[in-house]
Structure 1
Amino acid sequence: MDKRLMNVSLLGLSFMLVFTAFQTMGNIEKIVLESIQNDYPTFTGDGYISLSIIYVVFALSSWVSPSIVSCVGSRKSMFIGSCCYTLFLISFLLPSTELLYLMSALIGLGASIIWTGQGTYLTLNSDPTTMSRNSGIFWALLQMSMFLGNTFVYFVLRDKSHLDESTRTLLFTVLTVVCFLGTLLFLLLRSSVSFEGAENEQGIPLSITNELKNSIALFLTEDMCLLNMSFFFTGLHLSFFSGVYSSSIGFTKQIGPNSKQLVGLSGVFIGAGEIIGGLLFSILGKKTTTAELGSKGFGHSAVVALGFIINIIAYGLIFINLPDDAPFKDTDTISFIQPNQYIAIFCSFLLGFGDSCFNTQLYNVIGQKYSENSAPAIALFNFMKSIAAAISFFYSNLFGMYVQLTLLMITLIMGSLSFFKVDKSLENRYKEF
């Protein structure tokens, strides 16, 4: 295994541990905070509001995160960002509404730093021939977090209709320790390596003003404006499967007496879909590479088209399976059919696989198109994705399941068409040479 592949593998392992903790918490946060409110009436923290704050701050911080990464380097940036994730998880051991929202803002800042650092580090350790493979490997390792963390939740919540204090303490303690281990692992990352084998790090530190000008100029280009639609969709989709859908299963009492336990199982199958997608597109890396490499495969657009079909099927099944008021609280309402746990869990898998189709190909296109200017491009990806997620979590307290699914379908269509146009222009550009 060459040094660059080792770097990518260790990067994925570090993210796997940190996000085993965070993605698991995001998946159950709404239900966890509802149980805390039942035990402590003075606690008024809301899971959707917390997640909305995270992504609002994430979006705003994305404009300055390239400067931070440029100044301190991608490796140190990811370590700093992961420390914020650890502090966020610790705050759940001390239930306080004010502390919850403060730590939500802190983790939003940390998220912008860690993800801009990740995109930069991954790009610096890749080239056009390995970008698909490396992004697939990273994505598969990252999404192992959904599988591992939610498997743990599935067994902890077995036969429980309420999350008592001892159960919550066990959850928070284990997740905090796992996140801390992932934070320490970032210290083992080595300098990124160029294609020629020389050590390579982000270039000369730029001022925040210059970096903002650079980001704004990139944001206004035609291709980035088109990609923004794809980025926006992935943000809405992320917030739906990571914070709304699994909780909705837990709130749907007609699905069976084990609805709360299914929250963890839903997360497991979302993770399984993400992992299979990441591994599949890693193995087929050269088949999903743009035409500049002489590939005769099916290209990025074919993978996104597959993701489009998978997501449409998932949204349709969820529409008929879960009631409209499922995102809010426990409900006895029946949807168009009797809520079915097998359909619900199957849709979890489809949501995860569909997400991997879009994200792996977006990372590929960014890595190829903006290889010389990766930090601002990744930051803009994070900005649009987190803005969409923040909006989604905000309206999740207002709109029922049917409106949310309708908005997802509309943005899915627009995001897919935008991606096809950018990918086509990228392919045509390489054919000219």
Structure 2
Amino acid sequence: MADIRTYNVVILGIGFLLIFTAFTTCGNIEQTVVKSLNNTTFSGSGYHSLGIIYGVFSFCNLLAPTIVAITGPQLTMFLSGILYSGYIAVFIIPSTWSFYFTSVLIGIGAAMLWTAQGHVLLENSDTSTINRNTGMFWALLQCRYKQRVTSAVTEAKTEFKTILDIFRTKTILLLSFCMAYSGLELSFYSGVYGTCIGATTHFGEAAKGLIGISGIVVGIGEIVGGGLFGLVLKNNRFRRTSVVFLGMVVHFVAFYLIFLNIPDDAPVVLKTSSQHKPYMAPSVSIALLCSFLLGLGDSCFNTQLYSILGRVYVEHSAPAFAIFKFTQSIFAAVAFFYSGYVLLTWQLLIMVIMGFTGTLCFFIVERLQNVSADTQEY
């Protein structure tokens, strides 16, 4: 039985690897592809498409548990995978209406997919393997849902009421700043930064090819951080603040290097290549180093947010993680919508302010939890 459950988790991981290799690649290059289309009938924006995806995803995430309970996780994942394939297939023959229509569909499918994934992951885990399995899917811990459903309507009402109650707690209000920052930097590393690299004329003919390489390096940073902080330090409450502080420092170093290395107008929608000169001669090595740092810092914030939410809301983990995903996705959607019109310097400044504020709020929450634990022990 144990071997079968492990096999199921491995197959689940491979399936997500294939889906998101395609989708992440698409997200990294789509703004560059869209800007280069010489087609008077196409007026879509890659940033707007990604904004729609995350906007729809954020709201559907609150309703997904009920839908998955009715249709079943396996069928839900199959149908969601088809929606992902449909979105990517639009780029074969691009048209504005299908581009935005499938953006809405994939937003719905994403919420269903992540929820179903969490259900299957928990079905194939127990107390001795849950840390290992959730380490593989550390970014998906918000999907801890009940395995037995009696009344879908009743459950939906109960879940929604619990979400509203938790939303008003001091812990969530403070952590929402850190969640918001995770959404801003998610949009930056998953779509904006690759576009900036592709638009940097100083990189010459290699610029467009560097977009894909950058995405791979971001993934390496995520894997290193996820493996180290998601598994090794997952259950150590005194290390959470250290990891989050490290994530902030790593991101701030990356932002400063990007500020120096990438032209200020690189993310602007109406340009296919940069016109401004950066503060230093653009370096491919520095650009890719920043990609790694963006992935590493992202894993620092996400693993510790999941860890603290899982500790504070042990009995209501599903609503707590749903709030996290909702807040993160809302800010990612907002960031995608303004990214095509705001110069790089101002985007970086927004993330620095939110990153510092989010880290400070995380420290306050951790301090409050430690004091509460000490009081209970006393």
Normalised to the residue count of structure 2, the TM-score between the two structures is 0.88
Counterparts in 2 of 1:276 and 1:6: CA distance versus 1, 3 Å: same
Equivalences for residues 179-194 of structure 1 within 5 A: none
Q: Give the aligned residue type for 1:245.
A: Y
Superposed CA RMSD: 2.7
Residue 235 of structure 2 is aligned to residue 289 of structure 1: yes
Counterparts in 2 of 1:281 and 1:124: CA distance versus 1, 3 Å: farther
Match of 1:180 in 2: none
Q: Give the aligned residue type for 2:135.
A: G
Equivalences for residues 368-383 of structure 1 within 5 A: 368-383=311-326
Deviation per CA, 1:363-399: give whole Å up to 9, x if none.
Answer: 2233333343333222212211111111001111221
The CA distance in 1 between the partners of 2:119 and 2:368, in whole Å, is 23
Q: Give the aligned residue type for 2:358.
A: G
Residue 220 of structure 2 is aligned to residue 268 of structure 1: no
Q: Select which of 233, 236, 260 maps to 1:320.
A: 260
Equivalences for residues 219-368 of structure 1 within 5 A: 219-284=167-232, 287-291=233-237, 298-328=238-268, 329=271, 330-368=273-311
Match of 1:42 in 2: 41
Aligned 8 A contact 1:116 1:375 in 2: no
3-state DSSP of counterpart to 1:337: coil
Match of 1:396 in 2: 339
The CA distance in 2 between the partners of 1:7 and 1:421, in whole Å, is 39
Q: Give the aligned residue type for 2:248.
A: F
Equivalences for residues 120-135 of structure 1 within 5 A: 120-122=119-121, 132-135=131-134
3-state DSSP of counterpart to 1:16: helix
Aligned-pair CA distance for 1:82 = 2.6
Q: Give the aligned residue type for 2:50.
A: L
Q: Give the aligned residue type for 2:35.
A: E
Deviation per CA, 1:203-239: give whole Å up to 9, x if none.
Answer: 4444244432222222222212222222111111110
Match of 2:14 in 1: 13
Counterparts in 2 of 1:23 and 1:139: CA distance versus 1, 3 Å: farther
Match of 1:406 in 2: 349
Per mean C-alpha deviation after superposition, the further-off stretch among 71-80 and 206-215 is 71-80
The CA distance in 2 between the partners of 1:220 and 1:271, in whole Å, is 34
Q: Give the aligned residue type for 2:181.
A: F
Counterparts in 2 of 1:126 and 1:361: CA distance versus 1, 3 Å: farther
Gaps of 5+ in 1: 143-191, 195-199, 292-297
Counterparts in 2 of 1:347 and 1:260: CA distance versus 1, 3 Å: same
Aligned 8 A contact 1:70 1:204 in 2: no
Aligned-pair CA distance for 1:122 = 4.5
Aligned 8 A contact 1:229 1:411 in 2: yes
Match of 1:26 in 2: 27
Residue 147 of structure 2 is aligned to residue 201 of structure 1: yes
Counterparts in 2 of 1:15 and 1:419: CA distance versus 1, 3 Å: farther
Match of 1:100 in 2: 99
Aligned 8 A contact 2:144 2:318 in 1: no
Question: Quick one: percent identity of the two aligned structures?
Answer: 43
Counterparts in 2 of 1:425 and 1:306: CA distance versus 1, 3 Å: same
Counterparts in 2 of 1:247 and 1:54: CA distance versus 1, 3 Å: same
Aligned 8 A contact 1:123 1:371 in 2: no
Deviation per CA, 1:226-257: give whole Å up to 9, x if none.
Answer: 22222111111110011100110110101333
Q: Give the aligned residue type for 2:215.
A: G
Per mean C-alpha deviation after superposition, the further-off stretch among 373-382 and 246-255 is 373-382
Aligned 8 A contact 2:234 2:303 in 1: no
Aligned 8 A contact 1:74 1:202 in 2: no
The CA distance in 2 between the partners of 1:428 and 1:66, in whole Å, is 34
Counterparts in 2 of 1:323 and 1:380: CA distance versus 1, 3 Å: same
Alignment length, in residue pairs? 368
Q: Give the aligned residue type for 1:337.
A: M
Aligned-pair CA distance for 1:71 = 3.5
The CA distance in 2 between the partners of 1:288 and 1:382, in whole Å, is 19
Aligned-pair CA distance for 1:310 = 0.6
Equivalences for residues 84-163 of structure 1 within 5 A: 84-122=83-121, 132-139=131-138
The CA distance in 2 between the partners of 1:373 and 1:75, in whole Å, is 24
Counterparts in 2 of 1:193 and 1:244: CA distance versus 1, 3 Å: closer
The CA distance in 2 between the partners of 1:311 and 1:341, in whole Å, is 18
The CA distance in 2 between the partners of 1:193 and 1:409, in whole Å, is 32
Q: Give the aligned residue type for 1:201.
A: Q
Q: Give the aligned residue type for 2:199.
A: F
Counterparts in 2 of 1:7 and 1:415: CA distance versus 1, 3 Å: farther
Deviation per CA, 1:320-372: give whole Å up to 9, x if none.
Answer: 11111010230142111111111111100000111111112222233333343
Aligned 8 A contact 2:247 2:298 in 1: yes
3-state DSSP of counterpart to 2:205: coil
Deviation per CA, 1:155-174: give whole Å up to 9, x if none.
Answer: xxxxxxxxxxxxxxxxxxxx
Aligned-pair CA distance for 1:132 = 5.0
Match of 1:168 in 2: none
